[in-house]
Amino acid sequence: MTDSDSRDALIGAAREAAARAYAPYSGFHVGAALLLKNGDVVTGANVENASYGLTLCAETSAIAKIANEGWIAELAAVAIVGGRPDGEALLGSDPVHPCGRCRQILNEAAERSRTDIWVHCASGDGAQVASYRLSELLPAAFGPKDLGLIPD
């Protein structure tokens, strides 16, 4: 499998996850797919709440899943897809980038995984993808290394 095949497969998993979003307030469905070092993929979607500020983003939901399984140090890459559903389709022509809080939450797993993870950001219609290293999206991050949690 080429790098672009594996990127596209991860985006496909994020798209499937977006279909399981619970987003009755914003109508904006986001899916995140985490690639683990062993090739497994774990997904999450946004979970909104009537008390709007309590909303969980897709990336945060997915990171909670791997942390709960004991895999927080196994992260290799992430794909994010977002848009507005229209029947089976997901609309939206601009790549969706992780919010600031999610960048920090992704950084926790990335540092513990000792990997400057790829972050693939895709548009709802799938036509646009922008790929970054997490260090580009969150430069000079504060993380577990600053609290002595990353041994040499």
Question: Based on CB atoms, which residue is closest to ligand THU, 55 or 145?
Answer: 55
Token pair listed for 60: 């945060």
Query: 59, 69, 111, 136: which is the annotated catalytic residue?
Result: 59
DSSP per-residue letters across 49-101: -SSGGGPBPHHHHHHHHHHHTT-TT-EEEEEEEEEEEETTEEE-SSPPPPPHH
Report the residue from 16, 20, 28, 84 that binds ligand THU according to the rule CB under 6 A: 28
Least separation in angstroms between residue 148's CB and ligand THU is 29
Q: How far apart are CA 106 and CA 27, in angstroms?
A: 24
Strand pairing report for 29-36 and 89-91: unpaired
Q: How many CA atoms lie within 13 A of 114 on its CB side?
A: 4
The verdict on 49 binding ligand THU (CB under 6 A) reads: no
Question: Based on CB atoms, which residue is closest to ligand THU, 58 or 110?
Answer: 58
Q: How far apart are CA 148 and CA 152, in angstroms?
A: 10
Q: Which one of 51-59, 62-70, 124-132, 140-148 is the stretch in contact with ligand THU (CB under 6 A)?
A: 51-59
The verdict on 74 binding ligand THU (CB under 6 A) reads: no
The verdict on 26 binding ligand THU (CB under 6 A) reads: yes
69 is an active site residue: no
Binding site for ligand THU (CB under 6 A): 23, 26, 28, 30, 46, 48, 55, 57-59, 98-99, 102
> Which positions are catalytic?
59
